[in-house]
Structure 1
Amino acid sequence: MGASTSSEQSVPIEQREAENLAASTGALSTLQKCFSILADPHSGAIPSDSLQQCFRLSYENPVTGATAIPDSFPAVLDHLGPCIADLFFVSEKGGVSWIELVRGYNRCCARKPLSMSVTTLLRVFTATVKKAGLNCNLEFETGDDDCKITGWLMPVDVVMLLWMCWGMNWFSKEGRNLCVPDVKHIVLSAIESCAEGDSGVNVWEWEFSGEEVQLPVGKFLTWVLKTVPSLPGCFSEFVYAVLKHSASQEPGVECLTSSAAGTSSAADTSSTVECSSTLLSPGIAWAISLTLTGPLGEEISRACFPTDANEINNDLLYRSHLHGRGLNRFWSNVQGYQGPLLVLIAATSEDGSANKRNWIIGALTHQGFENRDLFYGSSGCLYALSPVFHAYPPAGKERNFVYSHLHPTGKVYEAKPKPVGIGFGGSMGNERIYVDEDFSKVTIRHHAADKTYQSGSLFPEQGFLPVDALITEVEIWGLGGRGAKDVQDSYKDREQLFTEQRRKVDLKTFANWEDSPEKMLMDMISNPNAIRREDR
């Protein structure tokens, strides 16, 4: 009783530990199927060439609608897959054995501290760019994930790293023609946080080509952990997606995602263009998704990798350009939605030289809007989105997350009327972000007035004084999934039914003198001391 079987005793302890670690992530059965399909029946191992082919990315010429793509970027994508296979899956004489496949998966995807995951990602990037014949100024002391890293990155290195992660994300989720986004706002965030001294970068007119700003790797690691903590997950998701795809193929069929990745249809292009025409461009959506985890991050990433333009547009609850400006128009489109919401505001302000500056900010709420005269909400996050990306999660000192108040219904006298509009953070009348009821002006205040969200500027050169800016566009995106949208649709149908019922008049009751208000009033005047009992 309690004795282990002979087969369990014959399995080495190292193999059992590796299998248990892979099983804790739910991937052991996937690895077993993958090994049974890829392994050579004679050697009992996966040929190294076959595993490299599985990780190799197949794509047409990558395109972007913003920044010019360096000629060296396709070479980075070409060498990414083989570098992953060589770094993490040790090949013996006959190829990659079962135990080495499991160990390689654990090195890439097993749970580990976030700092070690960032180190793993930088190791992959360094090996890939060097194999592509490019310069890299990062050095690792040992081959461990928690080793010390020295050196620095240039802005072009950050661009290549972000696009490499985007490519892995793209092939994990879509496997279609590669269209890389504009990541200028993320790179500028890294420059502002990591550059030593005054970088001299003009964020309003910056282009990464030819920029000679050194970003120390220690500061860069801190920036990743603070600003885009989900960036290393692009690598682990890609490795798992490749192995899962390999496990789903029939023996003898090419295991790579190239069958889906090498083609691009007109529907793909149209969906990408449609999504990019909104404030929530793929680059902005991806930057926000890198700050989130779980279902909320998956929901926002749907805007990064659109598969159906109509499906993405269903998540767009309100857009001032389409639905009209004003709090009432806004309210008619968001009322009844009880899921997380993403608010995007594009505005134009003037600097001291009367130069117009265009910028975009955002606010993420974890619940729907309510008509209240006080702050409410359980959590949220503020974003500086363009031209520089920053995220400001809750500070934990106050809970003034959201304020949304409409004019009271009916003619109600208020000695001290509450502000009518939408606000985030700060206090009543002193909100960190406040949008007036006409959606024509947004007021941005210094973070010193706000103890709900973390400190930081919402746009470059914000200053200490409140800034009034003209709103050019407002968008509200629902992130509650199909369920939240169905609930809102049911709510709207019910409200429409009630409205139609209230419009109907019962002429028989209206013509009955005994039930009319006029008769009750005349009876009270004729005998005000009469005792009347309400009919029940």
Structure 2
Amino acid sequence: MGASASSSSSSSPELQEEESIATSTGSLPFLRPSFSKLSNDSDSVSSTSLAQVFSLKTPKSIPSSPVTFPSLLSSLGPSLSSLLFPTATATWLQFLRGYNRCCSRQPASSSLALLFRLFSQTCLHAGIPCSLDLDDDKVSGFFAPADLLSLLSLCWVMALHSKAPEGAGGGGGQPLVLPDLTHLVLSAMVASGEVEDEGDAWDFDVSRSEKRMAASKVHVWMLSTIPGLTGCFPEYVREKLRSCAVSGDSPILSADDTSIKDGKDTFLLECGRAWAISLTLRTTLGDEFLGASFPGAVSMSFDHILYRSSLDGKGLNRFWSNVEGYNGSLLILISASSTVPGESNDGGRTWVIGILTDQGFENRKTFYGDSGYLYAISPIFRVFSPSGKDKNFMYSHSHPTGKIYEPNPKPVGLAFGGTLGSERIFIDEDFSRVTVRHHAVDKTYQHGSLIPSQGFLPVEASLLEVEVWGFGGKAAKEQQDAYKNRETLFSDQRRKVDLKTFGNWEDSPEKMMMDMVSDPNRVRREDR
């Protein structure tokens, strides 16, 4: 019965094509049992059953969320079901066709257009005004800042339930704490030309803004800045049907079943920032950010953090003692405060930038590295990938041990991009100041402003906090631990003095030298 009966009774070319598409994505093995269980071994699945699979209960509370967001969550399941499976019942062919429409390999622009259509239909089902106009894969209409924030938050919830392990947290009525995604909304507004003065970014209120962004410009911004957003919708559908095939049940999951904890902790790497960075990566490195993107739902050991200036102490020496020996991808986050042009010296604004490297730090006198990314994280999110013109990705140099004369001393500190003496980002050895220069000095990373309203002149700011997170996996951390243990062993060996290596004081060269200094003309008899 179910899928097997349908496929045996109908071997039309259309069905064979849909099954071939599902096979190419590795989905057919779990689609058959999920269809069979949802249809109760009949030839079709009701729209009610499908809506139940994709539904989320509204949590008891969602602090700091848009006013309309609870209604969006409760309308997600029915809207998704009607979008992919528009008939009252879905046969095996219609079930495959709806799944492949969402989860098959297709251009990113088509996936994003389908996501916009889901958001528009969910708003319509929830009775929320929406200004999107969708015709096939063409995108038109407008996004209000609050609407874009709701869309991004909805994608975060779908990603959460796609990545979180089954039963994580166990519910318990925990509130769903959404991450702060204002930096992404501001990034879209700047890209759409709706922000005249970037210096106003710190005081911008998303919920009260009446500006509108063209949906086509938001579409382009998402494809260029956060292309990983296109995978949230397909992954959600895929994981819900896979879970149904394994468990045989179709419960209406609660949005707070993962017991997400408050992401507003004291770390610079908040879950919203980590998720934004993961959306920019097209490699498996993005999976390493899951623990920081969904704290409490995905297991994350805080061994990921290698250095934190407020805890480990400021300065290059303290930094080096914590990151040395780690050979894996690193995320360096820098929080600093600088004066905005036109404001008084007391009007300093705090901003956060980041650097993602593909290797660990080395004590060198030249730039090194094979790849990397620069990030403007707060208040406006931007990503700057390698330009391919130069390879000055990272620089780290400390004072040599001992007093050694250097005719041409190299800068002591950390740098990223640019050239020696004209680094795009430079942190001094005391970790008290950070200098950010205009992108004109840099041929390694793409052009753009790391700080709102950044001009051509260098910006010198007071460094507030530095964090270094390791995303090289378990092997990189174990390798660093082995390196530190080896260095500790060598240090202990050097401190120990073996008294057996020393002879009698009377026969020692030191005593002979002291005797000669005290009376150099003294006649000594040679011992034969």
Task: Give your verdict on TM over 0.5.
Answer: yes
Q: Which amino acid aligns with 2:59?
A: E
Name the structure 2 match of 1:446.
Answer: 438
3-state SS of 1:415 partner: coil
Give the CA deviation at 1:8: 8.6
Query: Is the partner of 2:447 in helix, strand or coil?
Result: coil
Is contact 1:199–1:213 with CA below 8 Å preserved after alignment?
A: no
Q: How does 1:9-408 map to 2 (within 5 A)?
A: 11-41=11-41, 43-64=42-63, 68-91=64-87, 95-142=89-136, 147-174=137-164, 177=174, 178-195=176-193, 198=196, 202-250=200-248, 253-258=249-254, 261-263=255-257, 269=261, 272=262, 276-307=265-296, 311-352=300-341, 353-354=343-344, 355-408=347-400
Give the residue type in structure 1 aligned to 2:17.
E
The 8 Å contact of residues 336 and 492 in structure 1, kept in 2 or not, is answered as: yes
Q: Alpha carbons of 1:521 and 1:298: their partners in 2 closer, same or farther (altered >3 Å)?
A: farther
Give the stretch that moved more between structures: 171-180 or 349-358: 171-180
The separation in 1 between residues aligned to 2:62 and 2:131, in whole angstroms, is: 27
Once the two structures are superposed, what CA deviation does each residue of 1:80-121 show, in whole Å capped at 9, x if it has no partner? 1111111112436xx222222222111111111111111111
Shift of 1:521: 11
Partner amino acid, structure 1, of 2:273: I
In structure 1, what is the Cα distance between the partners aligned to 2:235 and 2:119? 16
Give TM-score scaled by structure 2 length.
0.89
Change (3 A) 1:262 1:206: closer
Q: Which amino acid aligns with 1:134?
A: I
- Structure 1 21/340 Cα, relative in aligned 2: closer, same or farther at 3 Å? same
Return closer, same or farther for 1:8/1:309 CA change in 2, 3 Å cut-off.
Answer: closer
Q: Distance in 2 between the 1:324 and 1:421 partners?
A: 15
Structure 1 residue 276 displacement after superposition: 2.5
> Match of 1:290, SS?
helix
**1:466 aligned partner:** 458
Partner of 2:524: none
The alpha carbon displacement at 1:364 in A equals 0.3
CA offsets, 1:332-384, max 9 Å, x none?
A: 11111111000000001112322111100000001111111111111110001
Q: How many residues align?
A: 497
CA-based RMSD of the aligned residues comes to 2.5
Is the 8 Å Cα contact of residues 290 and 298 (structure 2) preserved in structure 1? no
Checking the alignment, whether the CA contact within 8 Å between 1:31 and 1:243 is kept in structure 2 is yes
Q: Which runs of 5+ in 2 are unaligned?
A: 1-6, 515-528
Alpha-carbon separation, structure 2, partners of 1:445 and 1:117: 37
Q: Is the 8 A contact 2:199 2:340 kept in 1?
A: no
- What's the offset of the Cα at 1:254? 3.4
2:501 matched to 1:509? Answer: yes
Measure, in 2, the Cα distance between the counterparts of 1:521 and 1:283. Answer: 70
Other structure's SS at 1:442 match: strand
Q: CA deviation at 1:11?
A: 2.1
Query: Separation in 2 of the partners of 1:102 and 1:87?
Result: 14
Q: Distance in 1 between matches of 2:464 and 2:320?
A: 18
Look up the match of 2:523. Answer: none
**TM-aligned CA deviation for residue 441 of structure 1:** 0.4
Distance 2:289 2:509 in 1: 55
Query: Which residue is equivalent to 2:421?
Result: 429
Contact 1:242–1:256 (8 Å) recurs in 2: no
SS in 2 for 1:230: helix
Amino acid at match of 2:353: I
2:65 is matched by which residue type in structure 1? I
**AA aligned opposite 1:57:** L
Task: State the TM-score, normalizing by the size of structure 1.
Answer: 0.87
Aligned residue type for 1:31: L
Q: Offset of 1:71 from its aligned partner?
A: 2.4
Decide whether the 8 Å contact of 2:66 with 2:146 is kept in 1: no
Query: What fraction of aligned residue pairs are identical, expressed as a percent?
Result: 49
User: In structure 2, what is the Cα distance between the partners aligned to 1:125 and 1:520?
Assistant: 91
Q: CA deviation at 1:311?
A: 3.5
Alpha carbons 1:345, 1:362 under 8 Å: kept: yes
Residue 484 of structure 1 and its aligned partner are, at CA, apart by 1.2
Separation of aligned partners in 2, 1:127 and 1:304: 27
Structure-1 separation of matches of 2:510 and 2:51: 89
Question: Aligned in 2, Cα 1:229/1:62: closer, same or farther, shift over 3 Å?
Answer: farther
Aligned-partner residue type, residue 123 of structure 2: V
Change beyond 3 A, Cα 1:312–1:467:
same
* Structure 1 gap ranges (5+): 1-6, 523-536
